[in-house]
Amino acid sequence: MHVELFYSPGCTQCDGARTQLKAAALQRFPQVQWRECNVLDALDRAVELGVLSLPALAVNGDLLFPKLPTPQQLCAALEPLARDER
């Protein structure tokens, strides 16, 4: 399972989200491949996925959260995807 978190440097909301979401996802789903994408460096990828606000999360190439989820929302969304990979 591939998770891409799009963020902007200097964004305090992004910094907090990066830490909390990554910790929650990896604790519950150790098989997650986590990638943090600075939107300034990955602008083409962000546009391709439809990212309009930050932070945003894509899972397996689909924009799953166009706005900031809670760690609980992220884990709940990853649960069925993790089951499908087993």
Q: CA 23, CA 19: separation in Å to the nearest integer? A: 6
Give pTM, 2 decimals.
0.90
How high is the pLDDT of residue 12?
A: 85
How high is the pLDDT of residue 82?
A: 86
Query: How many angstroms separate the first and last alpha carbons of the chain?
Result: 11
In this predicted model, what pLDDT tens digit does every residue of 14-61 receive, in sequence order?
888 888 999 999 999 999 999 999 999 999 999 999 999 999 999 999
All structural domains of the chain? 2-80 (3.40.30.10)
How high is the pLDDT of residue 86?
A: 63
